[in-house]
Amino acid sequence: MKEKQGNRAVLYIRVSTEEQAEDALNLVNQEKKCRSYCQQKGLTVVEKFIDAGESGRTDDRPEFQRMLVYCKSQRNNVRYVVVQDLSRFARNNRDQNDAIHQLELSGVSLRSTYESSIDETAAGKLTANIFGGFNQFFSDSHSEKQRDRKRLAIAGGRVPYRAPLGYLNISAKQGPNIIPDEERAPLIRKAFQLMSTGLHKKAEVLKTVTEEGLTTTKRKPVSGQTFNGILRNPLYAGWVALPSDPTVQPVKGLHEPLVTQEVFDRVQAVLEGKKLPVSPRRVSNPDFPLRRLVRCERCGTPLTGAYCKGRHGGRYPRYWCRKPGCRAVSLPKINLESEFQAFLGRLRADRENVANFPKIAARVWKAKQGSSDLLFKKLSSQLEEQKKLKSNLVILRVKGDVTQDEFEEAKSAITKKIYELEDKLKALDSTRSTADSFVKFAELQLTDMAHVWRIASSEQRERVQNLLFQDGLEYSPESGFLNPSKPCLFNALEAVDFQKVSLVEAAGVEPASEIAVSREIPCCVRFR
């Protein structure tokens, strides 16, 4: 390179983190050191470039790139770029060499106040490479240690980086190391809640919370990109992850979540453009299970139920006829439900139907299971066939009729098929072996419906009521419950659509099975 005359220099100064950038002495000391060097060498400083809070592991730094462009445009006016040390210039050896090469093309040389032996000579270039290698090694080693520390922190449920908007970092050797920001956390919660409804656009929600006071920690408006990152961050739902290392599995954090998992998942669905399921309107009220089932005997209007306010301010649960001008039925909740349980307790099947019930229940079971015996035989035959194929394959391999690769491939396929058939047989045998317990338990439950209703949850009570009284019941203050249709429960089973019959778990009942019949099945009872 043709050496150019001149003593004009530019300074490049850098710190890695925002914390270091906020400490003015770091930048001031670097500039002071560089200016002192220039004064000793007789150089005139014409410009300075400062990257505050930029990593030296990449050359994608605003002021660093601006410095390279400036030197190229001032190739006849600038001779040197002065740094405190090479680690300020770059912590990646390739980036360092590429940048030095670009400066050389512009007739500019790099100088370091600490590494004074760096120049354009072969020895100077070797020195730069050696120091550059050490700087990269230090950076890589530091990064490895930091990653290990972060993994350990995450494994313990702690956050190993700056808290996201809505949280604050705290110094704590144990327990959570971030806490909700009282100023911003409520607005973050509101943003999630609004987005979870699926009724608002992201920009609208951001505008709403911004107008209510949401800002960054530097009191600046939250950008759309930052807001999207907030909505996507599982940390707000209580999870700690390491975005820079996707191989680290998220764990449940020690910190307090700002939103529930359900809300967070709904927001993700909204962001991905999925249509949210609409929650069905709840018609039944668990506090008043007989509401709408029981009708007023005088006018035929279904009863309603609610808590009524008494003279002294108390709340009393009641059922009553809701038709204006009638109100023939009006009584406390405990009275109507006690009469209903007594009514259920009086229901019995005819003797003939009780005797025939095992046959009816067995027919229900058979219809539900289908031709399980035939299927069991078919699967057993297929299993034996696959076992024979496996034995023959071994013989062929011993004889040398197939290669090792062919043997391993065929063996793998046959073994997989055997496992599949064995699993199917086990599942089928399990259902076949429970037929007897099904019949006995079904007989018990369907002959003691008062007990079933008494121990059932609100949803199970509604199922029992619809099983027995699809057309509802009438109630008279004088006669009590009336059952005008009176078809027999066990006779009704004869007409059951077996495709709508299933076995489900019944908590607190042994054995844990019950007949669950669709509401479309016309099942009621009659007195014996």
Residue 159 lies in a domain: no
Q: Kind and range of the H or E element at 319?
A: strand 315-321
- The pLDDT tens digits for 119-150 are 888 888 888 888 877 877 787 777 777 677 77
Half-sphere exposure of 201 (CA within 13 A, CB side): 4
Q: How far is CA 39 from the centre of its chain?
A: 61
| pTM score, whole prediction | 0.40
Is beta strand 303-309 parallel, antiparallel or unpaired with respect to 315-321? antiparallel
526 within some domain: no
- Specify the DSSP class assigned to residue 1: -
Interval 143-202: pLDDT, tens: 777 677 777 777 778 888 888 999 999 887 788 888 999 999 999 999 999 999 888 899
Structure tokens at 116: 């004074």
Q: Is the pLDDT of residue 46 over 80?
A: yes
Residue 61 has pLDDT above 70, yes or no: yes
Helix/strand/coil for 141: helix
Q: Are strands 473-476 and 294-296 parallel, antiparallel or unpaired?
A: parallel
Is residue 221 one of the residues assigned to a domain?
yes
In a domain, 354, yes or no: no
Mean pLDDT of the chain: 77
The answer on 180 and 236 residing in a single domain is: yes
**Residue 180 and residue 128 share a domain:** no
The helix (H) or strand (E) run that includes residue 395 is: helix 372-399
Residues 378 and 332 in one domain: no
Please report, rounded to a whole number, the percentage of residues in the chain having pLDDT higher than 70: 75
Residue 167, strand partner residues: 180
List Cα–Cα distances, 521 to 474, 492, 497, 517, in angstroms.
20, 8, 7, 7
Q: What is the pLDDT of residue 37?
A: 92
pLDDT in tens, 294-353: 999 888 889 998 888 877 777 889 999 988 888 889 999 999 998 988 888 777 655 565
- Is 157 a domain residue? no
**Which CATH number does the domain housing residue 131 bear?**
3.40.50.1390
Q: What is the spatial distance between Cα 276 and Cα 269, in angstroms, rounded to a whole number?
A: 7
Last residue of a domain, one of 435, 457, 491: 435
pLDDT score for 211: 92
Q: How confident is the model at residue 520 (pLDDT cuts 50, 70, 90)?
A: very low
Per-residue pLDDT for 526 more than 50? Answer: no
Q: Which domain holds residue 511?
A: 437-517
Please give the average per-residue pLDDT across 388-406, as a whole number: 80
pLDDT in tens, 78-104: 999 999 999 899 888 888 989 899 999
Is the confidence at residue 487, as pLDDT, over 60?
no
User: How confident is residue 16, by pLDDT bands cut at 50, 70 and 90?
Assistant: confident
C-alpha neighbours within 13 Å on the C-beta side of residue 133: 5
**Same domain as 130, residue 44:** yes
Q: Last residue of a domain, which of 435, 451, 474?
A: 435
pLDDT, greater one: 229 or 463:
229
Output the six-digit token pair for 139: 């950076």
